[in-house]
Amino acid sequence: MEKNGANFNQVAQLVTLKLTLDNRRKLPNNRNKSNAPKNSIFRQSIGYIVIGAFLILSTFRIEDPYFFIIISHLMLMVMNAMTLLAEYSVSLFDTRDNNLVLPLPVNSQTIGWARVTHILLYLLLLSFSMMLPGTVYVLIKFGSITGILFFLSIFLSTLFTLFFTVFIYLALMKVTSGEKVKDATMYLQVFLTVGIMISYQILPRYLNSNAGESLLITKHWFFMVIPPAWFASFSTVNLQFDPINLTCAALAIAIPVFGIARVGKKIFYGFNQNLQKLDTISAGKTKLKKQGRSTKTSAWMQFTSLIVGVKKSEAPLFKLIWKLSGRERLFKQSLLPILSYAAIMPIIISYTSGNFSSIEKKYLPFLYFTIMSSSLLPSILSIGNNKNSDWLFKILPYVLPHNIFKASLKATLAKFFVPVFILVSIPLFYFQGASAILDLTCIFLFNLMIASFTLYYQAPHFAFSQEKAATQGGKTGLKMFLIILIALPLGFLHSFLHNQNIFLVLIPTVVYGTLLYFMNKHWLKKRYNWKYINLTNNQF
């Protein structure tokens, strides 16, 4: 770190300060101690241990240590990459402390290392938590030396994932500036998310086409360009001494070390200036163009408002949040990767089978993966830079508090979720024809119901009013895992009812619709009142 131009003492002080701020109670007057960030990260760690235990159960039949460890590292790298893209990229480019830090005698390398170290500490905690069951399993089944090497490889794998992602982001900052880098970052997140999810579905099938038989892997020369293979080779270097294994093991050490040196010495150079550029505002012409285009979406806005069931009393708030959501970069930066999961998961999981008839059977239940975005949207909705936006809602005449949150959720669902849902629904019409309308109605109501229940149980923070804490970084992966556990059984139940009789799908449709009705009509109204809202937002 010192060799790369950073001041170690300053890095340590900045990281300590960030960790202290992360562990502050956001709601000091709230008596519920479970809301403390330190307890939040502890719960996330427990949740990741559970995910690691499920990984053991899903790979229990594997006798080949190399195959088991490469699958483990693949899952670990996917989870870390998802967390980085959806959560921690905001921490890397956070410009809120620029006015405090940049005037101080702190160089670019120090600021960059402080931010990356801050992120790395959380990633390592979550990584070791998720791989703890696997480490114990490897120690027992494959020997103590392999278990120790596997434990060390978790650290190397996390380093590689972090610095590879940081390298791409910071290289992007070198070639763009101001508003352009913010837009490019969002599009890059979507591109990387889609690529990671495709790789996660295809790579294990390609490595072992006879997974149901031998569960063994034959190494090839191209393993030297597959990162999970490097760390699997490092973990099994004591068991296998072939040239490919030794070369990959060397890469597992060399690439993370080279990445640290390259990012720290070259890419962090000028990081201060690039952070200042992120605060720049594009020319007024660009704003005028965007404003001119905004009116053209009115027809689409009206159409989607009908789909999500916006009432007349909610219409003004719906339009307000619709427009504000397009300007909230932190919100979109968190949401777009999640939307890409919902768009790509049904397609990739269904089409990796290679059999067209099985695709038709799988596609309907896997459409339930769309709740990966709709269920996370209520919590993402509160992320933004408008911390004191509550006055805007309070001055509106004849506005009930529960309508504020209902309209906010419906506006973001209509603007961001509905287009994705329509996109992934098109293949179902090809497979089933007009009868797909019944299935899609059921799935869409299920999404609305889950989103409404999520809104009901979370703290009532106003739209775009909450900063994104680093302690929340692991929640996305946990929530997505829990959502999968909910979605898959219901999806296959829906498919079973459809195969028995298409009209049996009306049963879950009525159930979802009834729960959604009571939630919007009664339960949200009882839960949300100004006293509760003010208490949650610490306003007295």
Q: Tokens standing for 339? A: 């939307």
Q: Tokens standing for 493? A: 């139940």
Rounded Cα distance, 218 and 216, in Å = 7
Averaged confidence pLDDT in the chain: 77
How high is the pLDDT of residue 307?
Answer: 92
pLDDT score of 35 more than 60: no
Q: Tokens standing for 251? A: 């890469």
Q: How confident is the model at residue 357 (pLDDT cuts 50, 70, 90)?
A: low
Q: Which residue has the higher pLDDT, 255 or 99?
A: 255
How high is the pLDDT of residue 410?
Answer: 93
* Among 470, 473, 491, 517, residue whose Cα is nearest residue 371: 491
The answer to whether the beta carbons of residues 23 and 38 sit under 8 Å apart is yes
Rounded Cα distance, 323 and 520, in Å = 23
Average pLDDT value for residue range 331-348: 74
Query: pLDDT tens for residues 87-142?
Result: 666 666 666 666 666 667 777 777 778 888 888 888 898 899 989 999 999 999 88
- Where do the domains of the chain lie? 8-25+34-278, 315-536
Q: How confident is the model at residue 371 (pLDDT cuts 50, 70, 90)?
A: confident
Range picked from 25-34, 123-132, 159-168, 217-226 for highest mean pLDDT: 123-132
pLDDT score of 384 more than 80: no
Q: What percent of the chain has pLDDT over 90?
A: 18
How high is the pLDDT of residue 385?
Answer: 72
Q: Which residue has the higher pLDDT, 316 or 92?
A: 316
pLDDT score of 352 more than 60: no
Lowest-pLDDT choice from 77-91, 248-262, 318-332: 77-91
Q: Tokens standing for 14? A: 């900045």
* Among 137, 158, 139, 155, residue whose Cα is nearest residue 147: 139
The answer to whether the beta carbons of residues 157 and 188 sit under 8 Å apart is no
How high is the pLDDT of residue 389?
Answer: 66
Q: How confident is the model at residue 243 (pLDDT cuts 50, 70, 90)?
A: confident
How high is the pLDDT of residue 292?
Answer: 46
What are the residues facing 383 on neighbouring strands? 466
Q: Which residue has the higher pLDDT, 352 or 62?
A: 62
How high is the pLDDT of residue 38?
Answer: 55
Query: pLDDT tens for residues 54-86?
Result: 888 877 777 788 888 888 888 888 888 777 776
Query: pLDDT tens for residues 184-226?
Result: 766 777 777 667 766 666 666 666 544 444 455 667 777 788 8
How high is the pLDDT of residue 415?
Answer: 92
269's torsion region: left (phi>0), alpha (psi -120 to 50) or beta?
A: beta
3-state DSSP of 56-124 = HHHCCCCCCHHHHHHHHHHHHHHHHHHHHHHHHHHHHCCCCCHHHHCCCCCCHHHHHHHHHHHHHHHHH
How high is the pLDDT of residue 33?
Answer: 46
Q: Looking at residue 385, what DSSP letter applies?
A: S
Q: CA-based Rg of the chain, rounded to a whole angstrom?
A: 24
Q: How confident is the model at residue 295 (pLDDT cuts 50, 70, 90)?
A: very low
Query: pLDDT tens for residues 416-473?
Result: 999 989 988 888 888 888 889 999 999 999 999 999 998 998 888 888 887 766 555 5
* Among 380, 512, 386, 385, residue whose Cα is nearest residue 446: 512
Rounded Cα distance, 31 and 6, in Å = 41
Q: Tokens standing for 377? A: 């949207």
How high is the pLDDT of residue 354?
Answer: 54
CA atoms lying within 13 Å on the CB side of residue 246? 3
The answer to whether the beta carbons of residues 119 and 263 sit under 8 Å apart is no
Q: Which residue has the higher pLDDT, 367 or 466?
A: 367
Rounded Cα distance, 40 and 476, in Å = 13
